[in-house]
Chains A and B, each alone.
Chain A
Amino acid sequence: TQLLEQSPQFLSIQEGENLTVYCNSSSVFSSLQWYRQEPGEGPVLLVTVVTGGEVKKLKRLTFQFGDARKDSSLHITAAQTGDTGLYLCASDPRGGDKLIFGTGTRLQVFP
């Protein structure tokens, strides 16, 4: 059973466009993390959200944790080619250190 479902699975857009990636679950999480993975590299942490309703901004990236702590979204404003990569949400459903990763969203930004 996949605990973290991401949508869309694939996204192909032009530079300058906005996009939103979603991470949904039927479980409640104490915290949730977003990672980005580029080809040939391991995932790199972007942000951790902890409080229901929390919004965090990282330059052009806006992360939101749902009020019920079951879902999260990542919004990118004015996408750039450097945003290309695999975006993964992750959490430990047991509230510990063993992260389970979402199904992933593969983003391609064209110039």
Chain B
Amino acid sequence: SAVISQKPSRDICQRGTSLTIQCQVDSQVTMMFWYRQQPGQSLTLIATANQGSEATYESGFVIDKFPISRPNLTFSTLTVSNMSPEDSSIYLCSVLGPPANEKLFFGSGTQLSVL
């Protein structure tokens, strides 16, 4: 299995500011994924972060709004830039875990509220 630590667990931010969310994994993983979960909703994939290359964004998400870093095989960050109340969501990082890389492991998420 993979253990994922995500920080912060929650934050309340002012509109127009940015927040960087950190995701630390206890083992080396190739693929990391960032999801958004809007209030009462399911999960929507934001982007895939692979070490050594630029993140791949899904339709509706852009790098300027959600820049992602992936400096090594155990760490990634997602920044939510120029926030507005519509960005209030839970943000989750996940990885494909060992042994067969066939299941996603998730962090506990970052509950973001934008005022």
Chain A residues near B (Cβ < 8 Å): 33, 35, 40-45, 48, 86, 88, 90, 97-104, 106
Closest Cβ–Cβ distance, residue A97 to chain B (whole Å): 6
What is the CA–CA distance of A10 and B19 in the complex, to the nearest angstrom?
A: 32
In chain B, residues 35-49, which have Cβ atoms closer than 8 Å to a Cβ of chain A?
Answer: 35, 40-45, 48
Select B42's contact among A41, A42, A45, A101, beta carbons within 8 Å: A101
Chain B interface, number of residues (Cβ within 8 angstroms): 24
Between B35, B40, B104, the greatest number of chain A beta carbons within 10 A of the residue's beta carbon is seen for B104
B63 lies within 8 A of chain A by Cβ: no
Is there contact, CB below 8 Å, between A48 and B42?
A: no
Contact between B45 and A48, CB atoms less than 8 A apart: no
- Whole-angstrom CA separation of A106 from B40 in the bound complex: 9
**How many Å lie between the Cα of A35 and that of B43 in the bound state?**
11
Establish whether residues B45 and A103, one from each chain, have CB atoms under 8 Å apart when the complex forms: no
- Chain B contacts to A: CB under 8 angstroms: 4, 31, 33, 35, 40-45, 48, 58, 92, 94, 96, 101-109
Please determine whether B106 and A97 come into contact, CB atoms closer than 8 angstroms. no
Name, among B33, B42, B102, the residue most crowded by chain A CB atoms within 10 Å (CB to CB): B42
CB distance from A111 to the nearest CB of B (A): 24
Closest A residue to B6 by CB, please name it: A42
> In angstroms, how far is the closest chain B Cβ from the Cβ of A18?
24
Inter-chain CA distance A106–B42, complex, in Å, is: 10
Tell me if B92 and A42 are in contact (CB < 8 A): yes
Whose C-beta in chain B lies nearest to the C-beta of A9? B40
Q: Are B107 and A99 interface neighbours, CB within 8 A?
A: no
Q: How far is the CA of A102 from the CA of B11 in the complex (A)?
A: 27
A48 touches B103 (CB 8 A): yes
The answer to whether A97 and B31 touch across the interface, beta carbons within 8 angstroms, is yes
Q: Which of B42, B96, B106 contacts A44 (CB 8 A)?
A: B106
